[in-house]
Amino acid sequence: MNNTELKTYRLIIKGKVQNVGFRHWFSDLAISLGLNGYVQNKGSKDEVEAIIQGDMQCILSITEKSKNGPDLALVEGVIPSNIISNVTYSGFIVKYETN
């Protein structure tokens, strides 16, 4: 994939999305779609943030699927935003809080 096809998006997923397996569900889906980046809990108990990079069709697919999430999640909204990034991610990871 050349850089003109490489898009980077930030998703904020709101609702009951922490302590329900959302990050691992999202990571597995991102990997299956060939996306790179990371997913992490936000400080708020009702938000998860994901940085995803790859083909636009795959980004649209994971954005749509995130509106439902895994079985235990109760997603209230997904806010996507296109970001300009000089970083090229390699692989997809779940970030854990360090504090």
Per-residue pLDDT tens over the stretch 59-71:
999 999 999 999 9
Task: State the pLDDT at residue 32.
Answer: 98
Query: Among 23, 68, 82, 99, which one carries the catalytic annotation?
Result: 23
Is 10 marked active-site?
no
Average pLDDT value over all residues in the chain: 93
pTM: 0.92
Task: State the pLDDT at residue 99.
Answer: 44
Question: What are the Cα distances from residue 83, in Å, to 13, 36, 53?
Answer: 16, 14, 10
Query: Among 10, 19, 36, 41, which one carries the catalytic annotation?
Result: 41
| Residues 6+ positions from 54 with CB-CB distance below 8 Å | 1, 6, 7, 33, 34, 35, 36
Q: Which fold has domain 7-83?
A: Alpha-Beta Plaits (3.30.70)
**Residue 73 pLDDT exceeds 60:** yes
The more confidently predicted of residues 97 and 36 is: 36
Specify the long-range contacts of residues 71-77, CB closer than 8 Å, at least 24 apart.
72/16, 72/20, 72/21, 73/15, 73/16, 73/17, 73/20, 73/21, 73/22, 73/25, 74/15, 74/16, 74/17, 75/13, 75/14, 75/15, 75/16, 75/17, 76/14, 76/15, 76/46, 77/13, 77/14, 77/15
